[in-house]
Amino acid sequence: MDPSQVEVLHTQNALHKLTVSDLREFIRLKAIQAPSNAKKVELIASVSEFLASEESIETLAQESNTVAVAEEEVPAKDTRTASKNRAGSQVDDTEGSVAAVGRKSRKRGAGAAKDREASGVVLAGEDAQDAVSPQRRSTRSRKDSLSRPAEEPPALSKANEVGEENGRPKRARRQSTGSPETAKKPPPLKRKPKTGVLSLTQAQSTVEVTEVQSDVVDGALVEKKRTKKTTVARGFGLKGDVGKVEISQSEESWSHLVHKKAEPDWIAYNPGLMRPPPPKGPFKKVVGWNVAGLRAVLKLERRWFDEIAEKERPDVICLQETKIQEKDIASVEEGLLPGYHKFWATSSAKLGYSGVALFSKEEPLSVRYGLGIPSLDAEGRLITAEFADFFVVSAYVPNSGDGLKRLEERTQVWDPALAQHLKGLEASKPVVLTGDLNVAHQEIDICNPDGNKRSAGFTVEERESFERLIMANGFVDTFRRQHPKAVGYTYWGYRFNSRASNRGWRLDYFVVSEKLAPLVHDSYTLPNVLGSDHCPVGLIVKT
C-alpha cells in the first residue's frame, strides 16, 4: 500500500467506509487493544488512535500485505477536496476505489450488510432502507459522543462533503440517520425577494491623498502640499431600489464610498486618515452640530455631546435645531459645559421648533440675533458672535419642506438676506459661517443626485441660489477646497437605515471669507459621533 493512501484513509475519515469485519481483522493483526463487543464507532476510534501514534506510515504499508478493494467507486467530482498528509505528499484527487486496511479476506453481500446494521452506523452513501431505528440511533449517538476522538469529524455523505463550488465553500448538510418517514427535513431556506433590494459591490483601492495647507508668511500666501497613499473602500455600485437597502452595518460605514454617480477619483472621507495634526502655533477651533433636539441628546445621548467637548475641546460650539423654548433655557444650562458663555435664539413662532445656540470659552465682543426679517427671526434661526479675529455665525437655514412649499421663501427671501448680512459683517472683519445650510451644493454632496432633483435641499433653485449669493460673493466652502474629491456626508435620514449604508447628504458646512481661507488648517466632519441624524463638523483656523 502506498503510504499516502493509509494517511488519506485517516485524514479523510474513510475508515467509516470499512465494514466491522475489516476493522476487527486489522485490530487483530496489529494487536490493538479494543473491547471484543465494541461497536463500529469504538473500533474506528481505536484504529484512529493507532494511526495517529508514533508508528511510521512506512511500517504500516509494509505490514499491510493483503489489501482488499472496495467494490464501489467514488466519483471524482465528489472527492476533489485535497489534503496534505504527514509525510508531506499532496493528494490531488482521491478518485477511484478506497482501500480497506489489513484484511486477508473480504466478505461481501448479506454478511457485510449485517455487520453494518449491527454496528449502529450508516455508512456514507448507504440507502435509507439500511438506516438504524430511532431508538438505536439515540443509543449510538450517546456512545458516539463518548468514544469518538475530539479531532475526528462526523461522517458526511459523498454528495455533502465540504468542498468548493464556484469559488465559494459548499455548505455541508447533516447526514440523515433515520428512515424516510422519521428523518427530519431541514427548514426551507428563506430567500430575500430580488425586487426592491439594493446591491452593493465594493473594491479596495490604494489612492494618493493630497492635503493642501495654506499659510501667510511675510504677507505672502504660501501653500504646502503633502501627499500620502492610503487604502480606501471605493467603487460601490448601487443597483435596485435605494429605499430598501439590506446590508450589514459596520462601525465605520461612513468610511465606504457609496454614491450612485461616483467618479473614478472620488474617495470616501475618513477623518482617521485625512485629518492633519494640530498646528504648532495658536489657533481657534469651532464645532457645529445640528442636534435635532438638544434636550433629547442630553437625556439619551449625553455621552456624544460630552465626548465632543472633551476630545475636540472647541473654543466655540454652534448648535442648530435645538428645539429649546425660552422658559427651558435655565434648566438646560444647569451643569452644561461649565466655563462656556452661552447664547440662545429660540422660536416664538412655533414652540419646540428650530432654534440655534452658540457657546464660547471666550466672551464675544458682541452678539446679535436674526437677520432683521421678523417672520424668519421669530423662528430663532441665526446668532452672530463677534471675536477679535473674525465673526462666527451659527445658522439653521429653512428647509423648503414637503412639496417645496417654502422654496420661494427660502431662495427669494432668506438667501438674499443672509448674503447681505455676511457681506455687511465682512466689511469690518472676516466671517465664519457654520450650520445646517440645508443644501447639497454639488452632485458629490449627495448619494443619489438623479433621484433627488426635486427634493428639498437639492433642487436647481436652491443650489443656484447658494452658488450665486454665497459662493460667488467671495466665500469659500472650506471642506470642498481642502478635499475636492472626498465624499463626506453629514446627514443620514432615519428611514431606510441610511446611516448604516452611508447613503447621505452633505448639508452642514463651514463657509469662510476668502481672505480667511489661507488660515484654515483643517475642515473636517465627525461621522462617528451619533445622537442625531446629522454629525458634527469642525474647523481649525490659525490665529
Catalytically active residues are: 396, 436, 534
54 annotated among ligand-binding-site residues: no
Cell of 480: 470642498
Distance CA 172, CA 163 (A): 9
445 annotated among ligand-binding-site residues: no
Question: Any idea what DSSP says for residue 18?
Answer: S
**What counts of helices (H) and strands (E) characterise the chain?**
16, 21
256 annotated among ligand-binding-site residues: no
438 annotated among ligand-binding-site residues: yes
Name the phi and psi angles at 75, rounded to 5.
-60, 140
Cell of 276: 492633519
Residues 191 and 218: beta-carbon distance below 8 Å: no
Residues 356 and 319: beta-carbon distance below 8 Å: yes
- Find the Cα–Cα–Cα–Cα dihedral 489, 493, 495, 497, rounded to 10°: 30
Q: Which residues pair with 367 in a beta bridge?
A: 385
Whole-number Cα distances in Å, 314 to 82, 306, 339: 60, 12, 12
Name the phi and psi angles at 432, rounded to 5.
-120, 115
Helical axes 40-51 vs 20-30, angle rounded to 10°: 40
User: What residue has cell string 501667510?
Assistant: 216
Residues 520 and 482: beta-carbon distance below 8 Å: yes
Q: What's the alpha-carbon Rg for the chain, to the nearest Å?
A: 36
Q: Which residues pair with 51 in a beta bridge?
A: none
436 annotated among ligand-binding-site residues: yes
533 annotated among ligand-binding-site residues: yes
Q: Nearest to residue 438, comparing CAs of 351, 379, 505?
A: 505
Cell of 540: 481649525
Q: Give the other-Cβ count within 10 Å of 133's Cβ.
A: 13
Residue set of the binding site for Mg(2+): 290, 321, 436, 438, 533-534
Residue set of the binding site: 290, 321, 436, 438, 533-534
